[in-house]
């Protein structure tokens, strides 16, 4: 121990919990602590907050690799006078060594160096403390360098990653796109640049979204590789996701009825116009087809609102909408056209018999009694049908014809109910 007290480097021994067991006289002198005052204190109490994440990760890696020294790293360490001083540190785990049983760390005070601004240690320290990941990849996509931000952000050990293929740290779903991006940079030649967004695979099936900016510097004899900077865009991706969801909700609100979730009147009119155009274009290349619209108006719905209130009436409309969706096919488009009016655009041209069968099924489904909170009520329905050839159909005429057909059905039903009994 007396020999270690005389070496110019700091030597500190920690236990398996990273608590100080011993330090040499050089360490005591440079840091300003007495050995008896510092024994038992955690090493991480002396690490600068900005360096803590990396040093914790580095400790875990060293513990997991006994007898294997780590790479030289830099960290700011707290002295007794409250000042932060930069040290160049290397550690080796001898926890399994019966004679030592600790983590042995040696450190060199960087503030003592002359021309520190030009030193490799300072340059490495500056790169390590950038907010971006900095990587250097060779022409085969293997790591030549990775700063400690990689460890802090994704958990990958920048000390042990040298020589490995860079796609190993990516989310599996992004490997193909990232490989294509790298190949494009190689093919682009000297000075080629490109960006791509990928996910870094982290511990425990986690991932971090980053934007990679690569520059081809293989021709530079001092670099001979692809320089890659990676910026954490997790918050940006989350914000984009929120905006997309908000836009989807706004778009849905514009095109769908808020109460029933069916298409709104405006969206239905647009859908009819789209179908006419598509059928018209298709029919020029084949057999002519018709566009068919159904107009449904509930009979007696006002009495539901008057007798049981609008809350019950709204739930009846929701049930009617659900029955419509259950009765028509997936290719058909349904809309709440007005208060108690619903429309259906058939997805395919149908023969008259099939349309009549659909009208019968809809009539049966919509006139079946509805029970809401022990209140059972029933509405009637009048359904009008309009059909026009796609090559001459117009949106307004189709809807007007369906509306008129519905009112004819309603008048006919009312006349039938009011006719005198012949008996």
According to DSSP, residue 132 is labeled S
Residue 27 phi/psi, 5-degree rounding, is -65, -45
130-234 and 256-417 in the same fold: no
Confidence category of residue 121, pLDDT binned at 50, 70, 90: low
**Tokens found for residue 62:** 């060293």
> pTM for this structure?
0.47
| Residue spans per domain, the chain | 2-123, 130-234, 256-417
Closest CA to 73 of 131, 18, 152, 4: 152
The answer to whether 356 touches 267, Cβ cutoff 8 Å, is no
Higher pLDDT, 125 or 157: 157
Alpha-carbon distance of 202 to 272, in angstroms, equals 49
pLDDT at residue 239, as a whole number: 75
Average pLDDT of 300-305? 90
Q: Tens digit of pLDDT for each residue in 162-184? A: 899 999 999 999 999 999 999 99
With bands split at pLDDT 50, 70 and 90, how would you rate the model's confidence at 126?
A: low
Q: Are 18 and 42 in contact (CB under 8 A)?
A: yes
Angle between helices 301-308 and 310-327 (to 10 degrees): 140
Q: What residue ranges in 236-347 does DSSP mark as E strands?
A: 290-299, 333-336, 341-345
Give the residue with greater pLDDT, 121 vs 191. Answer: 191
Asked whether 75 and 48 are in contact (CB, 8 A), the reply is: yes
Q: What is the pLDDT of residue 423?
A: 37
Tell the CATH superfamily of the 130-234 domain. PAS domain (3.30.450.20)
The domain made up of 2-123 has a fold known as Beta-Lactamase (3.30.450)
Average pLDDT over residues 195-222: 87
Q: Domain 256-417 has what CATH class?
A: alpha beta
Minimum mean pLDDT range among 112-121, 239-248, 375-384: 112-121
Segment 263-294, tens digit of pLDDT:
999 999 999 999 998 888 887 777 788 999 99
**pLDDT for 334 beyond 90:** yes
């Amino acid at each position: 121990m007396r020999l270690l007290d005389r070496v110019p480097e700091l030597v500190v021994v920690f236990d398996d919990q990273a608590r100080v067991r011993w330090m040499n006289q050089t360490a005591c002198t440079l840091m300003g602590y007495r050995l008896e005052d510092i024994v038992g204190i955690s090493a991480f109490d002396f690490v600068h907050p900005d360096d803590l994440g990396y040093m914790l990760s580095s400790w875990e890696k060293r513990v997991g690799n006994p007898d294997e020294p780590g790479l030289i790293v830099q960290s700011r360490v707290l002295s007794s006078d409250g000042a932060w001083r930069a040290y160049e540190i290397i550690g080796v785990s001898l926890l399994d060594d019966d004679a030592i049983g600790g983590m042995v760390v040696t450190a060199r005070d960087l503030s003592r160096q002359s021309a520190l601004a030009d030193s490799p240690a300072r340059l490495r320290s500056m790169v390590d403390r950038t907010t971006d990941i900095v990587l250097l990849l060779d022409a085969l996509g293997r790591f030549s360098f990775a700063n400690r931000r990689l460890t802090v952000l994704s958990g990958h050990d920048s000390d042990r990653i040298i020589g490995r293929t860079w796609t190993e740290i990516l989310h599996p779903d992004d490997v193909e796109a990232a490989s294509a991006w790298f190949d494009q940079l190689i093919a682009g030649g000297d000075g080629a640049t490109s960006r791509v967004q990928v996910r870094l695979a982290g511990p425990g099936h986690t991932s971090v979204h980053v934007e990679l900016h690569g520059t081809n510097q293989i021709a530079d004899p001092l670099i001979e590789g692809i320089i890659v900077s990676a910026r954490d865009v997790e918050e940006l991706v989350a914000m984009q996701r929120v905006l997309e969801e908000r836009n989807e909700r706004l778009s849905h609100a514009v095109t769908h009825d808020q109460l029933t979730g069916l298409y709104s009147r405006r969206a239905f009119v647009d859908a009819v116009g789209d179908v006419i155009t598509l059928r018209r274009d298709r029919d020029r290349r084949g057999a002519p087809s018709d566009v068919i619209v159904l107009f449904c108006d509930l009979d007696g719905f006002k009495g539901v609102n008057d007798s049981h209130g609008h809350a019950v009436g709204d739930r009846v409309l929701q049930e009617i909408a659900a029955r419509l969706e259950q009765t028509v096919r997936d290719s058909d488009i349904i809309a709440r056209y007005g208060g108690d009016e619903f429309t259906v655009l058939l997805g395919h041209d149908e023969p008259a018999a099939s349309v009549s069968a659909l009208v019968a099924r809809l009539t049966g489904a919509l006139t079946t009694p509805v029970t809401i909170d022990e209140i059972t009520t029933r509405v009637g329905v009048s359904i009008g049908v309009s059909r026009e050839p796609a090559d001459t159909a117009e949106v307004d005429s189709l809807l007007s014809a369906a509306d008129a057909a519905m009112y004819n059905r309603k008048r006919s039903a009312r006349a039938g109910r009011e006719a005198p009994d012949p008996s």
